Amino acid sequence: MRKFHPTFAPLLLTLVCRKWRAVAHATPRLWHRVLVLWHCAFTSRVTFQSFLTALDQWFQRSQDLTLTVRIDCESDYYPSGSESESSDGGLSEDSNPGYARMTSAEFLSVIHRHTARFRIVSVNAGLARKLFPSKLPVPSLTRLVLMPTDGPEVPNIGSFDGIAGIRHLVLDDWEPSFFHEHRLLQGLRILDLGTAPAADMMANILQLWTSLTTLRVSGAGFLSPPQSKLGVVRHEALASLAWLFYSHSPPSFTSFELPALRSVTVGLATRTTTIDLSGFFAMLSRSSCTLDKFKVRSSTKGFSLPEAQVQELLTVAKVVHVNDQTFTRP
């Protein structure tokens, strides 16, 4: 059981005494979060079946609550989905001497019994397709986190009818083809990217997901100029933009028009002491919008913006935050 829960709190309660155990088992709220580690060294079918039983019991104790689930799976151990392919899942005696032959289909069947209640799911990108078969609806799913994988697979979820209700997508890593193929998530509202896209790709993202209201880019890099000439890319819904690990090179926002934008956050890369905001000013001027707030965050001790730059920001934002400093219009 300790192998797939992030806090151990429910298990600790069950160990105190019989009364506490009964209370814990009867409190669904304690069991609505689960972490599954699918790279454990199961040495026998007995230990494997014990794992599946414990996992199923954990889900059942949450009763009808929606679930927050994280499944960590090394690429060598991806569940294959069928007994005939079990060696591909890394759990057969042939591919792993000393392991008992176990079918990953059994693992997936336990997961699939409860997917209707999945609300937030974090999963290795290469496992996503096996986790969500095309005909298995996931009506409660609103947030999907696709974590990096050691395998060659690129996140590919575009054919899954069951996840159309996703509102928040997190991509730690991605390939450009992802944004050409994934036209299913038309209701997407929040997108988190772990790598900064080029301007061409940024245009694809905005044109693909017209309902997007929040875009956060937290990976290193910067929005490089387009490889080909871009026309004006207008997005009517984007209200919040966060660009973290911002380098000294200014992003190329000059082709974008975001009239609904109300909040911008810029997080500076480590040891960055100056910031060029010309790209933002060009975009805000084109968009004819006034921000409620513009935030600049830096881990550099004592970082501050020149007075002239603060005053310039106050021409496009009602409030400017620079770390713990706050500036407002007179």
Q: Encode pLDDT of 4-22 as tens digits.
A: 444 566 776 677 788 877 8
- pTM over 0.85? The answer is no
- Is residue 92 within 8 Å of residue 99, measured between CB atoms? yes
The order of strands in the sheet holding 263-268 is 33-37, 67-72, 118-124, 143-147, 168-171, 190-193, 214-217, 240-246, 263-268, 291-297, 317-322, 325-328
- Assigned domain for 301 exists: yes
Q: What pLDDT is attached to residue 221?
A: 52
Residue 143 domain flag: no
Domain membership flag for residue 171: no
235 lies in which domain range?
189-330
Give me the chain's average pLDDT, please: 77
Beta carbons within 10 angstroms of residue 171's beta carbon: 21
H or E segment at 307? helix 307-313
Mean pLDDT in residue range 27-48: 77
pLDDT for 160 beyond 50: yes
pLDDT in tens, 64-90: 999 999 988 755 455 554 443 443 344
- Would 314 be classed as within a structural domain? yes
- Which range has the top average pLDDT, 25-29, 131-135, 151-155, 238-242? 238-242
Three-point CA angle 4, 10, 12, nearest 5° = 100
| Within a domain: 225 | yes
Looking at the structure of the chain, the number of domains it has is 1
Determine, yes or no, domain membership for 285. Answer: yes
Q: What is the structure's pLDDT at 98?
A: 38
Contact 59, 52 (CB under 8 A): no
228 in a structural domain: yes
What pLDDT, in 10s, does the model give residues 261-306? 999 998 887 676 777 788 888 889 889 999 999 999 888 888 888 9
Domain annotation covers residue 75: no
